Structure 1
Amino acid sequence: TGVNAGTHYLAIIDSGSTASRAHCFSFETPEGWSLDSDVEPLFAPMIDEDDIEKVKPGISKLVGDPEGLGEHMDKLIGTISVTIPSDHHASTPVLLWATAGMRTIPEDDQSTILFFARSRLKQSPFLFRDSMARVIS
């Protein structure tokens, strides 16, 4: 199934060991484009690398602090909300990729943190499914 031609958006939350950052991208697609297409869209960062706010600490440090994790996620969602045009919020996927810090904590703690982070992302106006938040290698 293809998508409409035009500008689309994507947000990736990079949750590292010391901080999380919200990276927002726009990309153009031709009419009927799909993930199976041979044509790759050009992704353009919407926030200069130097201007990306670091939300500290890394989420792995927030195990046992669901309120702190909620505030952490709210700051990131807020950044995405003011960067992505509001009429595109519902169609903009938000991915959460947790890296080094999360790999160093027990799997039970990883699962708990991801549960609360996913809950917050589901409450956001953005397109989100549980599989879009995970610990990556």
Structure 2
Amino acid sequence: MSGTPRTEKLRPGWKPGQSGNPKGRPKGRRNRVTIVALAAMEEGADAIARKVVDMAKEGDMSAARLVLERLVPPAKERPIFLALPDTSTTDGIADAQRAILQAVAAGDLLPGEAATMAGIVEARRKAVETLELEQRITALEIKK
């Protein structure tokens, strides 16, 4: 072996640590493998979709589930229509929490939806509590 480093033998114009492409890959450029895979999928996508739909029509429940999940994705949230009492007082906040609990018990609200609503009412309770404390402190300072 000679005294020259291996990198100098392979790339005689570059110094060790110097990149052959200092700017790197342009942003947004895809890998060659990804481009080939996408092209292959595009060519057969129609045939695959037709086959899955046909299988679903023939009673294949896995295919039917796949078709339905793509046509009608599951809703992550839904609008909630629940009349709550005025939450400007602590009594109103307690009534709002009670209304949420009753809606869950009646099946009008899902437990996750109720937890979200209860969190909103709890944030309102903290705001009312903070306001009341501020008013009490101000009243005590004025009396001094």
Q: Same fold (TM over 0.5)?
A: no
Q: Which has the higher contact order (CA 8 A, sep 6+)?
A: 1
Which of the pair has more CA radius of gyration?
2
TM-score, normalised to structure 2, is: 0.25
